[in-house]
C-alpha cells in the first residue's frame, strides 16, 4: 500500500515512521535542529512548490532515513491513512 503526499510523490505506507505538523513541531528547538541536520545530510525531499504544512519521517527497507516536506496538512495525510484512501500500485 502507498500513500500519496502530493505532486506525484507516492511512498510505501510501511516506510512512514511519523507524520508531523510543521507549525506545531518547529516551535521546538530540537525539531528545528533535527530538520536542519537532515537538510545538510541531503535527507530532505520537498514535495511540491508550495509552502509545506507537514513533514513525514520515513525509513525504507535499506534503513535510509528520508524527511518529506508536504504541502498537505498532517490531518489530511492522517485521514488518508485511516480511511484507507491511499494508492495501491
Q: Distance between CA atoms of 89 and 83, rounded to whole angstroms? A: 17
Statement: residue 12 has pLDDT above 50: yes
Residue 89 pLDDT? 46
Residue 85 pLDDT? 56
The pTM for the full model equals: 0.90
Helix (H) or strand (E) holding 70: strand 65-70
Nearby residues of 85 by Cβ (< 8 Å), 6 or more positions away: 79
Q: What is the mean pLDDT of residues 27-43?
A: 96
Amino acid at each position: 500500500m502507498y500513500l500519496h503526499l502530493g505532486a506525484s510523490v507516492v511512498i510505501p505506507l510501511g516506510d512512514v515512521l511519523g507524520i508531523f505538523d510543521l507549525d506545531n513541531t518547529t516551535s521546538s528547538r530540537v525539531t528545528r535542529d533535527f530538520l536542519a541536520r537532515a537538510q545538510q545530510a541531503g535527507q530532505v525531499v520537498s514535495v511540491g512548490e508550495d509552502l509545506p504544512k507537514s513533514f513525514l519521517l520515513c525509513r525504507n527497507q535499506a534503513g535510509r532515513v528520508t524527511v518529506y516536506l508536504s504541502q498537505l496538512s498532517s490531518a489530511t495525510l492522517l485521514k488518508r491513512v485511516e480511511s484507507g484512501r491511499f494508492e495501491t500500485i
